[in-house]
Amino acid sequence: VFICEQKLYSRAQLNQHMSTGDSEVDGSESDRGGFSGHPMCDFCRKRFYGDNELYLHMSTEHYTCHICQ
């Protein structure tokens, strides 16, 4: 994607996109390949681009040692 092709969002549009996707632009959830918003950390409520970024965040920020616990 070229920078001129990048979609720009207002704050409200970004919040909608992060939580539910862009149904008004990209069609229904099934048309978007099942995308229903970016994954969110249930501990700190931050959203991430994808599952890999969420996994990395969880393993570094919310790691719990089951031996020491």
Note the pLDDT tens digit of each residue in 5-40.
Answer: 888 889 998 888 888 877 655 555 555 566 778 999
Residues 45 and 31 in one domain: no
Give CA–CA dist 14/3, Å, rounded: 17
Residues 5 and 27 in one domain: yes
Give CA–CA dist 47/33, Å, rounded: 19
For the record, the structure tokens of 59 come out as 């393993």
pTM beyond 0.75, yes or no: no
Is it the case that residue 43 has pLDDT exceeding 60?
yes
State the distance between the two ends of the chain, measured CA to CA, in whole angstroms. Answer: 45
Q: Which residues pair with 40 in a beta bridge?
A: 47
Residues 4 and 33 in one domain: yes
Residues 9 and 28 in one domain: yes
Which range of residues forms the domain containing residue 62? 39-69
Residues 21 and 49 in one domain: no
Output the pLDDT for position 11.
Answer: 92
Residues 44 and 32 in one domain: no
